């Protein structure tokens, strides 16, 4: 691992930004996916590009699950997904059960509550059990991901925000967004508090929840990336060519 100092000038101030850069040990995983998510107990799910077929990693091999989704998420809240028409589903005993509402992206990383954003970038979380209604949070985000104590998101301008105070009883958190330095096009929070994201250039970055004072660590990688997910010491990476890699530090 190494780091460098970057000086940024504007008409008023001089900013000093510390960017840590570190490399990974990666192995290529057979297959092709457009999106992947890993959660507690090493569960791993993904969606392929063309037919949006759903796969899970079982005993080292990809196993196809019935159905078609454009985004899938696994975590303490279970396994959730949304299809091409933005309809929401939850995996229950091997069957996809429809859930009221529409989202373009869903996240199951919260303690018991899924969350996500709809086609208008409105933000929602689901508090309670069967029959509960989605809670609308203030603001607009295009991607939203939750850990055990906070949720992170990026908006249409790639600005990064964190919502603190998220608990099993309060999925909406403090309702006060705090902006985090940097720009990302997607972001994922793990169950242990690590945060990974990808910017519009396909570069990867890592931080922690709450954000580390020094900012983001850039992840040195040999190719451009479009999606990442992390849990239990493994960083899963989807390249812009839909290749799959399993990486460790």
Predicted confidence (pLDDT) per residue in 203-213, tens digit: 999 998 777 66
Does residue 110 contact residue 125 with C-beta atoms inside 8 Å?
yes
19 within 8 A of 217, measured Cβ to Cβ:
yes
Report whether pLDDT(238) > 60. yes
| pLDDT of amino acid 155 | 98
Q: Tell me the Cα Rg of the chain.
A: 18
Weakest mean pLDDT among 61-75, 90-104, 172-186, 213-227: 213-227
How buried is residue 99: exposed, middle or buried, by Cβ count under 10 Å (0-12/13-18/19+)? buried
Q: What percent of the chain has pLDDT over 90?
A: 71
Q: What is the DSSP letter of 42?
A: G
Average pLDDT, the chain: 88
Residues 6+ apart with CB under 8 A from 102: 82, 85, 86, 87, 88, 118, 119
pLDDT at 34 > cutoff 90: yes
Cα torsion 140, 96, 196, 151: sign: positive
DSSP 214: T
Q: Is the pLDDT of residue 240 over 60?
A: yes
Per residue in 115-150, pLDDT (tens digit) is 999 999 999 999 876 678 999 999 999 999 998 789
For 182-212, letters b (16+ CB in 10 Å) and e give: bebbbbbbbbeebbbbbbeeeebbbbebebe
Can you tell me the mean pLDDT for 180-195? Answer: 93
pLDDT at 5 over 70: no
Give strand pairing partners of 105. 117
pLDDT at res. 241: 97
6 confidence band (pLDDT: 50, 70, 90): very low
Which residue has better confidence, 163 or 11? 163
- 30-248 maps to CATH 2.130.10.30: yes
Whole-number pLDDT of residue 14: 37
pLDDT tens per residue across span 84-119 = 999 999 999 999 999 999 999 999 988 789 999 999
Over 60: is that where the pLDDT of 170 sits? yes
Question: Distance from first CA to last CA of the chain, Å, rounded?
Answer: 10
Please tell me the pTM assigned to this model. Answer: 0.88
Q: Where are the domains of the chain?
A: 30-248
């Amino acid at each position: 691992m190494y780091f460098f100092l970057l000086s940024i000038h504007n008409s008023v101030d001089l900013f000093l930004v510390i960017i840590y850069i570190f490399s990974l040990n990666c192995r290529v995983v057979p297959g092709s996916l457009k999106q992947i998510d890993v959660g507690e107990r090493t569960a791993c799910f993904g969606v392929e590009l063309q037919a949006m077929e759903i796969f899970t990693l079982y005993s080292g091999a990809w196993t196809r699950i019935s159905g078609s989704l454009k985004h899938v998420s696994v975590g303490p809240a279970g396994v959730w997904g949304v299809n091409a028409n933005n309809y929401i589903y939850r995996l229950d005993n091997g069957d996809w059960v429809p859930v009221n509402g529409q989202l373009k992206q869903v996240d199951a990383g919260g303690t018991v509550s899924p969350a996500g954003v709809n086609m208008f970038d409105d933000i929602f979380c689901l508090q309670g059990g069967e029959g509960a209604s989605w809670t609308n949070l203030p603001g607009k985000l295009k991607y939203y991901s939750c850990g055990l104590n906070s949720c992170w998101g990026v908006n249409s301008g790639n600005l990064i925000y964190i919502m603190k105070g998220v608990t099993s009883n309060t999925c909406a958190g403090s309702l006060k967004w705090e902006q985090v330095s940097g720009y990302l096009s997607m972001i994922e929070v793990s169950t242990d508090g690590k945060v990974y994201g990808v910017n519009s250039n396909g570069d990867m970055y890592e931080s922690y929840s709450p954000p580390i004072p020094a900012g983001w660590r850039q992840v040195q990688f040999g190719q451009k990336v479009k999606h990442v997910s992390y849990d239990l010491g493994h960083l899963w990476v989807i390249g812009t060519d839909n290749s799959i890699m399993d990486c460790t530090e």
